[in-house]
Amino acid sequence: MLLDLSLYQACLGVASASFVYGATRGVYNLYFHPLAKFPGPKWAAVTGWWKTYVEVYKGESIIDKLFELHKIYGPIVRITPNELHFSNPSVYHEIYNQRSRWNKDPNIYQVFGEDISTVSTLDYRDAKRRKELIAPHFSRKSVLQLQYVVQDGLNELCAVIRARCEAGKQTDIWRAFRCVSMDNITSYCFGYCIDAVHATDFKEPATEELHEGLRVFHVFKHFSFLKHIIVVLSRLIFKYKIAELDRPGYGRKNIRQIKGIIENPTILADAPHQLVYHTLLDPNASLKLSRPSLHDEAGMLVVAGVDTVSNSSTVATIWTATQGDPDRLRAELRAVWPRIDAPPSLEVLEDLPYLRAVCKEALRLSHGVYTPMLRIVPPEGATLGGQFVPGGTSVGISNLFVHLNPEIFPEPHKFCPERWLAPGAESLDTWLVAFSRGPRSCLGINLGWCELLMNTANIFRCFTVELGDCWPLFVGGENGPISPYELFHDDCYLPYYHGPDLLFKFTPIDS
């Protein structure tokens, strides 16, 4: 009886102390915190659980919420006790610029992987060393040398689409691009192809699992201990040789490939071309990566190489076919690509003005990363948007607040490649931030441009594209046709799509 009473009193004491601490902390955050002067929802100022409530419990997109909040509170909004979001596009270049040496916020980047990768490295100096190690594989020189890998993948995709046409089948363009992107990134980086484009209806398990994995982003972000539990369990499973059972196809191959190269580096000499491991495992490099770190690096390359390219290629195809000028694009392509079986080089495609305009508009409306990429203000503080921000504050601005700003891009939700061809349009390049900006920008920008240009060119040179069974989405109802933002709506770091199959009718062009 005494033991039960003591346990009850101990629990009551802990609960009381927790309540007092939480209440005191909340009052401090609301009235005395260094960010107390910045506007925003009161509960967001009191506790970070407000953001958890929005993203996890209610399942809402924080981007939608941010657009609402900026209308109420102005260009700077406090959305957690220690986080500010900005809406003025000029602030983007104040946070993400070449002079910025700011570290990343661990609350976001701790989500990725079990060890550490270039993306999840928080400290600027450490990230610089890692990026310098891997960057040569994604340089323009490397992309030009290996562009045939991308074209080989597209040749396979086009062959599959032609076969579907002959069988009277429509094609899910989004899944098709995900599959060819998976084949191309694994071929380009690792020297093998998982043959995703030949999956039934392009429903390759690896790409499907990759996409569904985005749904846990917010859960792991707000409850990081769950990720650590899963990592510990996966290591225990791996110890008993069954970890590979739960990995997608490329994951199993990467595990075996990394193990084989570490045990016998000479096998790299038999690779079909330069692999990412030639740079990551260079014996002369000053930075040596652990095996878990190599697994994470490989995994992040696949995630980054599949989602962003497939989303932008989907936007380019759908909106050119439904709201753009496909005949103009096709005529431009025919001029440099007269024979179907003799595709031009990347260098030739890069010089086609309307193709580049289509791809820029697709990048603008697919955005790259949705989530604000948070940076930590250095100890001395910084002036952002004309306001002094104390050191240690997490700050960011979502790409969408740049790409959808009507002062920069009139009718921002409209797909309009012609805006990139108007007099003075060169100035718009400053505001195309799909690959981010500054020293932590996307290292795959050269490969991303290569794939987007070649994907778009191959589809519109080899086929005519018409609406299929997904036509209700794009013909418009009371509110008009759906916009790219409405299609790729949910923010799971990357945009998450969960609508109907995007089925289109393709007709081969034989001459």
Q: Are 317 and 456 in contact (CB under 8 A)?
A: yes
Q: What are phi and psi of 33, to 5 degrees?
A: -65, 150
* SS3 state at 504: strand
Residue 11 in marked binding region = no
Give CA–CA dist 322/320, Å, rounded.
Answer: 6
Token pair for 205: 């398990």
Name the pairing type of β-strands 394-396 and 83-86: parallel
**Quick check: helix, strand or coil at residue 314?**
helix
How much is the pTM? 0.91
Instruction: Please list the residues that pair with 387 across neighbouring strands.
Output: 384
Question: For residues 379 and 449, what is the distance between their CA atoms, to the nearest angstrom?
Answer: 37
Superfamily of domain covering 107-363+436-508: Cytochrome P450 (1.10.630.10)
Euclidean distance between CA atoms 38 and 187, whole angstroms: 49
Q: What is residue 244's predicted lDDT score, i.e. its pLDDT? A: 41
Tokens 């499907």, residue located: 208
Give domain limits for the chain.
107-363+436-508
Which helix H or strand E contains 307, and what residues bound it?
helix 291-322
Low-confidence ranges of the chain (pLDDT < 50): 2-3, 239-247
Give me the pLDDT at residue 266, please.
87
> What whole-number distance in Å separates Cα of residue 78 and Cα of residue 60?
18
Of 479, 478, 477, 472, the C-alpha closest to 502 is 472
Burial class (CB in 10 A: 0-12, 13-18, 19+), 240: exposed
Give pLDDT, residue 337.
Answer: 96
Q: What is the pLDDT of residue 163?
A: 96
Per-residue three-class SS string for 163-178: HHHHCCCCEEHHHHHH
At 229 the pLDDT is 74
Instruction: Identify the three-state secondary structure at position 469.
Output: coil
Confidence at residue 245, expressed as pLDDT on a 0 to 100 scale: 38
